[in-house]
Amino acid sequence: MSFGRLDRSSGAQPMSDINMTPLIDVMLVLVVIFIITAPLLASSIKLDLPKTDAAKPSEVPQAVRVVVDAAGQAFVNDRPVSQDELAQQFATAQHANPDTEVQLRADKTVPYGRIVEIMGAAQKVGLNRIGFVADATPTSTTSPAVAPAGGAPGKP
């Protein structure tokens, strides 16, 4: 009987390739998340807008969007502007299209005088279409204890 050399297989060799499928899946999920959340981050200025039932967003082809925060600081395209810069932006918009609308979003604590200053700057350059943006109030039921405009509750 002869004893020969026993062949031992070395077993499975380690893989030197990286499986890219899980990495691509994770990246695609992140891209979808960013695509969905990007429109939600349109305005980064925190405001407490007044509420009204008549507030419905309207699409205007040409508009200058002005935001006034609680401190009275005006912003155009989320960039703070002085009163002179605001007037210059209004003049540029009016020169480009005389029917441009000024959409004014102001915190409800902003003094009325500050709003009038911004309206005056817009009207001085010829922008007469000014829209005030407000949040819609949530629909609520009125309680019977609410008095009508002319008298006490329950009496005509």
Higher pLDDT: 121 or 57? It is: 121
pLDDT at residue 4, rounded to an integer:
59
Q: Report how far residue 8's alpha carbon sits from residue 19's, in angstroms, rounded to the nearest whole number.
A: 30
Instruction: Please write the tens of the pLDDT for every residue from 5-47.
Output: 666 666 777 777 888 899 999 999 999 998 888 877 766 677 7
Q: Report how far residue 41's alpha carbon sits from residue 98's, in angstroms, rounded to the nearest whole number.
A: 30
pLDDT at residue 25, rounded to an integer:
94
For 76-98, what is the mean pLDDT? Answer: 90
Phi and psi dihedrals of 51, rounded to 5? Answer: -110, 145
Most confident stretch, 36-50, 108-122, 133-147: 108-122
Q: Is the pLDDT of residue 89 over 70?
A: yes
Which residue, among 74, 144, 152, has the nearest Cα to 114 in the 3D structure?
74
Q: Report how far residue 129's alpha carbon sits from residue 138's, in angstroms, rounded to the nearest whole number.
A: 28
Q: What percent of the chain has pLDDT over 70?
A: 73
Which residue, among 55, 100, 54, 99, has the nearest Cα to 76 in the 3D structure?
100
Name the packing angle between helices 112-124 and 83-96 (round to 10°).
40
Please name the residue ranges forming H helices in 12-82.
21-37
pLDDT at residue 108, rounded to an integer:
86
Q: Report how far residue 7's alpha carbon sits from residue 111's, in angstroms, rounded to the nearest whole number.
A: 92
Sheet hosting strand 79-81, strand order edge to edge: 79-81, 74-76, 63-68, 101-106, 129-132
pLDDT at residue 144, rounded to an integer:
44
Domain boundaries 62-136, corresponding CATH code: 3.30.420.270
pLDDT at residue 147, rounded to an integer:
41
Q: Is the pLDDT of residue 55 over 70?
A: no
DSSP state of 12: P
